[in-house]
Amino acid sequence: MSRPPAAAVSESLLAFWAEAGVDAALLETTVDRIAEGQRPLAPRFAPATAPSHEPATVRRAPRPPAIETAREIARACSDLEALATAIEAFEGCPIRFEGAASRAVFSRGPADAPVVVIGEAPGAEEDRAGRPFVGKAGRMLDRMLEAIGLNDRVFITNTVF
């Protein structure tokens, strides 16, 4: 069985990473991604226009009442402390009553940090501590952030609290 040429393998791998959303690689020179993040984003694509045969409005399925309730509660919060309190009190998510978690795990780090890290959901160690990313993966993340001088400049949270 013959092996594909190295260029074809490299192109295929590059295409895979591009489709996965990777838009940066290690470079010979450093790039200040924090400074880059301070600049306004330019649109990546021109706005799409709907073909003339499609209706101008899009019908969406109604959201479950708990989602609308959560949105209303979140809109009423004036700061992160109020949001954390609201998340802790919210009972509209059925996962809360499945016995896996004992508390909401909201965030850690300064609210005005220039970098935000968003994880998936807290594990058992995070549940016990009430803080995200404190388990094995969190300790590794902390070492990585410290190595690049960001350990005190990151706000860390999850998509599921």
Alpha-carbon gap, residue 132 to 123, rounded angstroms: 8
Contact 154, 115 (CB under 8 A): yes
* Structure confidence at residue 80 (pLDDT): 92
**59: CB partners within 8 A, 6+ apart:** none
Alpha-carbon gap, residue 6 to 61, rounded angstroms: 48
**Residue 77 predicted with pLDDT over 90:** yes
Q: How confident is the model over 6-47, as pLDDT tens digits?
A: 777 777 777 777 777 777 667 777 778 778 777 777 766 665
| Mean pLDDT of all residues in 84-93 | 89
> What are the tokens at 125?
């160690």
Contact 138, 119 (CB under 8 A): no
Global confidence as pTM: 0.58
Return mean pLDDT, the chain: 81
